[in-house]
Amino acid sequence: MPPLHLTRLPKKQQRLRQTLERVSQTIPADRRFTEPEINAYLRPIYADYALLRRELIDYQFLARTADGTAYWRTPERTA
């Protein structure tokens, strides 16, 4: 599968959710990341990696500790 690179995030919620799901599938599910590590992972995918990270959290594709020291991919949900 070719590397994922986004030039913009979709505005419509359904397309955004699909895009975030695709992005989340590229993140290893078996480890935790520090904030700098997850940022470094997301930076090549989208220039505003902080927005991408927040959207992934808001849509529950990523979870984090309350103090933001650890991030991890959430288990995949069935439709």
Q: Where are the domains of the chain?
A: 13-73
Tokens found for residue 72: 């991890």
pLDDT number for residue 79 = 47
Residue 76 confidence (pLDDT) above 90: no
Task: Please give the model's pTM, rounded to 2 decimal places.
Answer: 0.90
pLDDT digits (tens, 9 = 90+) for 9-62: 999 999 999 999 999 999 999 999 999 999 999 999 999 999 999 999 999 999
Beta bridge partners of 71: 33, 64
Percent of the chain with pLDDT over 70: 94
Q: Are 59 and 51 in contact (CB under 8 A)?
A: no
CA distances from 5 to 16, 43, 47 (A): 14, 9, 9
Residue 77 confidence (pLDDT) above 80: no
